[in-house]
Amino acid sequence: MNDPSFFTSRRRLLGSATALAAGFAVPAVLRAQEPAKPAELIVRAWGGVWVDSLKKGVSDPFTAKTGIRIRHDLTEDNEIKPRIWAAVQQGRTPPIHVNWDTTANATSSALRGVCESLADLPNLAKVLPLAKPIGLEGVPIVNLYSYVYVLAYRPEVFPGGAPTSWSVLLEPRFKGRIALYNDGIGFHPVAQVMGGGKVSDIPGNMEPCWAFIRKLKEQKPLLGEDPDFTNWFQKGEIDVACTISSNAREAKAKGVNVAWTVPKEGAKVDTDGMWIPKGLTANELYWAKRYIDFALSTEAQQVWLDGLGLPGVAPGLRPPADLVGDPSYPTTEKDFERLILIPPRIQAEHTAEWFARFKEIMQS
């Protein structure tokens, strides 16, 4: 479906951690005596299972190790981005210390020059190459895991087995009972294919995408954010959805009979990362880097990403028992061959345009 080398070539281990550590020179800033600790760090996050898992795997253990309180800001990533850009441009203190962000959004911030360098994080020498961004100078962001926008569904409405095609979204019986993200994120490449187009035509010719979304609008889909999908499934308000597998898995953990699949047309795969806006004080910058470095550790990722059901970048992670062999937990080249990748830089340059077009269609 799409060239998997972007991920698979970056999922090969870099050699033994011992050998790598021996060849890694810790920068002077990290060898120096630790600077004063701020009372707290503000980390932007998504709500629901996302912030719950981050708190359990990264934030609470970081506080236990350092004594620094972590406050989670749940402002949506697209809403906080212009606020950060404006603060950096005007020389003001940014509203957060660490941004947990989509790689596409983070790439747009990196291209704008508002990100601090993370090249001196010690754990970068130990994680899989997927952690380092592609198509950017230096390391203004670090990727933390990959994820898939699956077709989630209620098994009772598919007694013959999992749906095999995204075309089920257009079935009359699901009118008013399907769900998408409110900006269409994760769905644009699938819509391109379903509209008869080619992924390789993105971004040059996306009329097939918009044609399919216009058809889908007639189905009156529910539109929301991550926590909404879990709630909608839990309340029995939807039967099918395009969502990140973590949301369906969380609904299942709450006792909802829900499953998910990667249809024959494929599904979008992506990554999320973390970055630090420019404008922090020296001690805040130091400890913000320590927070992200800890988020790269096997210790943190094993707990954090177990909660999300996502494959991370720390080597040696054990997949959750319920996701071994699951198409939403890709780890091999064969797994990635089923998925659709849109390079982060293309997403960074066109996502705002795609979001606006999606909303325009849905609101017309």
Q: What is the pLDDT of residues 249-260, one digit of tens each?
A: 999 999 999 999
**Which pTM was predicted?**
0.85
- Quick one: tokens of 32? 């120096």
Q: What is the pLDDT of residues 15-27, one digit of tens each?
A: 333 333 333 334 4
Which pLDDT score is estimated for 135?
A: 87
DSSP 156: G
Which pLDDT score is estimated for 32?
A: 55
CA angle 171, 177, 183 (to 5 degrees): 100
Question: How far is residue 280's CA from residue 290's CA, in Å, rounded to a whole number?
Answer: 14
How far, rounded to the nearest angstrom, does the alpha carbon of residue 162 sit from its chain's CA centroid?
A: 25
Which pLDDT score is estimated for 287?
A: 98
The residues of the chain scoring below 70 in pLDDT are 1-32
Interstrand relation of 98-102 and 267-275 (parallel, antiparallel or unpaired): antiparallel
| Residue 73 · residue 42 · CB < 8 Å | yes
DSSP 341: -
In Å, how far are 77, 110, 162, 343 from 155, measured between CA atoms? 32, 42, 7, 33
Q: Is 56 helix (H, G, I), strand (E, B) or coil?
A: helix
Which pLDDT score is estimated for 131?
A: 95
Name all domains of the chain by residue range, CATH numbers in brackets: 5-146+270-328 (3.40.190.10), 148-268+338-363 (3.40.190.10)
| Residue 179 · residue 222 · CB < 8 Å | yes
Which pLDDT score is estimated for 2?
A: 54
